[in-house]
Structure 1
Amino acid sequence: MNPAQIKLVQDSFGKVAPISEQAAVIFYDRLFEVAPAVKAMFPADMKEQRKKLMTTLAVVVNGLSNLDAILPAASALAKRHVSYGAKPEHYPVVGGALLWTLEKGLGEAWTPDVAAAWTAAYATLSGYMISEAYGSAQAAE
């Protein structure tokens, strides 16, 4: 990711943060719509899970300009996700739901450049997380 992409992600997330509760609901609704099998990995009461999602996203987005600072936490998160039943093939589905949610939440502010920046951010982080949790061979697939 280049500095311009990092700024686009951070600025656009700043527009989503005020509606974080709604955005989290939209995200999980979309995720469970496109991948109903993953719903079993989550608690029945999603309130705390939605808060965790938005808190984690905020930490990651704010840390993009210093990736080395957030990678240890991303590694730990990736390894925890394995114990929940997450598999490498879930990462693209989650990414798709995230991008879809951002597009809906940002409306006209979701430009091709913003989409490309978020796609790069997610690809960077998910690739790293897959590598940490499953090994570098899985991340390359």
Structure 2
Amino acid sequence: MTPEKIALVQDSFKKVVPIAGPAADIFYDRLFEIAPEVRGLFPEDMTEQKKKLMQMLAIAVNGLTKLDEILPAVQDLGRRHNGYDVTPAHYDKVGEALIFTLDKGLGEAFTPEVKDAWVETYGALAGVMIDAQAKAA
């Protein structure tokens, strides 16, 4: 990732932080709409899960300038997904729900350049998680 793309992701995420609750709602509503089969992988009460989502996003986004520091946590998260019956195909749906959420939450600020930066960021991090999950299986 280029420094410019990292800046786009980090700057746009600052606009998501104030709407973290509604953004998490949009994300999971969309995820369960496009991938209803994953609903059973999550608790009935999603309150804590939504907080965890936003916390993990914040850690990942803030750590983009120091990937060597966050990669172990990203890999560990991927390995833990083995215990949740997560498949590589699920990552595509999560990415789709994330981009949808950012589009809805950021509105006009979600420019094509910002979208491209987020798609690249998510793809890179998901790739690390998928690889770690596969190696741990």
Give the TM-score normalised by the residue count of structure 2.
0.97
Equivalent residue number for residue 100 of structure 2:
100
Q: Distance in 2 between matches of 1:132 and 1:82?
A: 10
**Is the contact between residue 10 and residue 62 of structure 1 (CA under 8 Å) also seen in structure 2?**
yes
* CA distance, structure 2, for counterparts of residue 50 and residue 89 of structure 1: 21
Q: Distance in 1 between matches of 2:60 and 2:42?
A: 21
| CA displacement at 1:115 relative to structure 2 | 0.3
Residues in 2 aligned to 1:4 and 1:57: alpha-carbon distance in whole angstroms: 19
Could you give the per-residue CA deviations for residues 49-86 of structure 1, whole angstroms, max 9, x where no partner exists?
A: 00000000000000001111100000111111110110
Separation (CA, whole Å) in 2 of partners of 1:77 and 1:39: 19
Q: What amino acid is aligned across from residue 3 of structure 1 in structure 2?
A: P
CA distance in 2, matches of 1:80, 1:20: 24
Identity over the aligned pairs, expressed in percent?
A: 57
Q: CA RMSD in A?
A: 0.6
Q: What is the CA distance between 1:98 and its match in structure 2?
A: 0.2
1:59 corresponds in structure 2 to 59
Unaligned runs of 5+ in 1: 136-141
2:132 aligned with 1:115: no
User: Do residues 19 (structure 1) and 19 (structure 2) align?
Assistant: yes
- 1:35/1:93 contact within 8 Å kept: yes
Which structure 1 residue ranges, 4+ long, deviate > 2 Å from structure 2?
A: none
Q: Report the 3-state secondary structure (helix = DSSP H, G, I; strand = E; otherwise coil) of the residue aligned with 1:86.
A: coil
Question: How does the TM-score come out when normalised to structure 1?
Answer: 0.94
Q: Distance in 2 between matches of 1:111 and 1:103?
A: 9
Aligned equivalent of 2:68:
68
